[in-house]
Amino acid sequence: MSTPPQENGGMEVKLNNTTNFYQRNQVRWRAWITPETPVPTPYTDEYLGVVGLFEGGQHRLSDHFRPTARGCLMGAGAFGVQHLCPICVQRTILKHYDLVNPIERITPTQTEMQIEGETSIHFQVIHLKPEPNTQKTEWRLNGKVIAVNVNQVEITLGSTDHYQLTFSLADKTKWIRPDPPYAAYPLHQVSWIIKNSNPIHDSLPLEIELEATNPSFLGHDGQIQSQVSGGTPPYEYIWSNGSQDPFLSDLSAGTYELRVVDQHFDYATTSYQLEQKSKLDIDLRSVWTKNGWKVDLNLESDEKLNCWWSTEAVTSTVNGLKDGIYQYKVQILMG
Ligand SMILES: [Zn+2]
């Protein structure tokens, strides 16, 4: 196998089943390549049937790669293979959902409504289903899940002054391996907005307060604690990372959004941006003991660290030091 050239001009040929990139994390079908499969992939017996990165896409002998050793109907299919490779199957399904809106009919047809106090409304979505049916559907009212895998709901509204009802349809077929931005499960949504001029519940407005701790240097130990007041408990917590707890831990840097929905679908939203500390926290403390000075670095880190002292000790705590000047060095143990 020749070594691909280092320079490809930074341009990728925009085809779905070939590439001139040869690094695993740049390959658009990487979700189909198991960790045991080398990239680029050799044309040896054990890889003939799997998805990898095989040199020789687009009828070129080098610098161009395709997902399967034998090609497929849509690619360089001149190897007697009569089926589509998984990458082309995934592409075909995604394209199908791009071209065909699976939602055929909705009730009510009006997606913005005005009500006055308590009102029951019947909502329905008639949609296309694949065979076998791999769709998952979900109804959310102001963000809170109220029903799954049904195509109609009857809801009594009226407690609060504003509602958004969303029906989502995702096809979670095994033929798609989500790997944004290259691939995601097809998703279609319908939303209704209902405004209520006469809300029944008149509770204090919902309020969220967040208290956060940024992740330490190299650590994933950020935390966000939420405190909710007003509205009508119980509260439901809906975080952008999927959590449903009032308290988040083990967080990396990034923005975290929270929506809290109360018993009557009243809601509030907020967000917090955690930032990684740019250096290691060292909280050096020294105490005099009967054996001499005891010095502790009190390191705050998730990583394995080595601490080297000018006394040749390798530890984060040293004992029995005499008066004097000492140096230390902290090193992260890689791998
Ligand atoms: Zn193909």
| Distance from residue 52's CA to the centre of ligand 1 (Å) | 12
Check if 103-196 and 207-274 are the same fold: yes
How far is the C-alpha of 196 from the C-alpha of 115, rounded, in Å? 5
How far is the C-alpha of 302 from the C-alpha of 305, rounded, in Å? 9
| Distance from residue 17's CA to the centre of ligand 1 (Å) | 6
Query: What pLDDT score was predicted for residue 280?
Result: 80
Cis before 234? omega within 30? yes
Q: Which residue has the tokens 């204090």?
A: 204
| Distance from residue 19's CA to the centre of ligand 1 (Å) | 12
Q: Please determine, for residue 305, whether its predicted confidence score (pLDDT) is greater than 90.
A: no
Q: Please determine, for residue 8, whether its predicted confidence score (pLDDT) is greater than 70.
A: no
What distances in angstroms separate CA 309 from CA 10, 166, 300, one per listed residue? 46, 61, 18
Q: What's the half-sphere exposure (Cβ side, CA atoms, 13 Å) at 169?
A: 22
pLDDT single digits (tens) 178-200: 998 888 999 999 999 999 999 88
Query: What pLDDT score was predicted for residue 79?
Result: 52
Q: What's the half-sphere exposure (Cβ side, CA atoms, 13 Å) at 281?
A: 14
| Distance from residue 189's CA to the centre of ligand 1 (Å) | 30
The CATH number that domain 207-274 falls under is: 2.60.40.10
Q: Please determine, for residue 116, whether its predicted confidence score (pLDDT) is greater than 90.
A: yes
Contact 220, 302 (CB under 8 A): yes
Question: Exposure string (b/e) for 114-124, b if CB count within 10 Å is 16 or more?
Answer: ebeeeeebebe
Q: Which residue has the tokens 């000018």?
A: 310
Q: Please determine, for residue 306, whether its predicted confidence score (pLDDT) is greater than 50.
A: yes
How far is the C-alpha of 29 from the C-alpha of 91, rounded, in Å? 10
| Distance from residue 176's CA to the centre of ligand 1 (Å) | 14
What distances in angstroms separate CA 221 from CA 26, 253, 279, 327, one per listed residue? 29, 9, 14, 28
pLDDT single digits (tens) 261-287: 999 999 999 999 999 877 787 888 999
CATH topology of domain 103-196: Immunoglobulin-like (2.60.40)
Contact 203, 229 (CB under 8 A): no
| Distance from residue 67's CA to the centre of ligand 1 (Å) | 7
Q: Which residue has the tokens 């050799």?
A: 42
Both structure tokens of 104: 């055929």
| Distance from residue 74's CA to the centre of ligand 1 (Å) | 5
Q: Please determine, for residue 15, whether its predicted confidence score (pLDDT) is greater than 70.
A: no
Q: Which residue has the higher pLDDT, 4 or 22?
A: 22
| Distance from residue 163's CA to the centre of ligand 1 (Å) | 45
| Distance from residue 84's CA to the centre of ligand 1 (Å) | 5
112 pLDDT band (50/70/90 cuts)? Answer: very high
pLDDT single digits (tens) 205-252: 899 999 999 998 878 899 999 999 999 999 999 999 999 999 999 999
- Measuring CA to CA, which residue among 160, 124, 126 is closest to residue 143? 160
pTM of the model: 0.72
SS3 of residue 331 by DSSP: strand
Question: Domain boundaries in the chain?
Answer: 6-97, 103-196, 207-274, 281-332
Contact 171, 90 (CB under 8 A): no
Q: Which residues contact 268 (CB under 8 A, 6 or more apart)?
A: 205, 206, 207, 208, 228, 231, 259, 260
Cis before 35? omega within 30? no
Q: Please determine, for residue 150, whether its predicted confidence score (pLDDT) is greater than 80.
A: yes
Q: Please determine, for residue 149, whether its predicted confidence score (pLDDT) is greater than 90.
A: yes
pLDDT single digits (tens) 51-73: 999 887 556 666 788 888 887 76
Both structure tokens of 192: 């209704």
Contact 93, 171 (CB under 8 A): yes
In the chain, alpha helices (H):
86-99
| Distance from residue 93's CA to the centre of ligand 1 (Å) | 13
SS3 of residue 89 by DSSP: helix
Query: What pLDDT score was predicted for residue 216?
Result: 84
Q: What is the mean pLDDT of residues 309-324?
A: 91
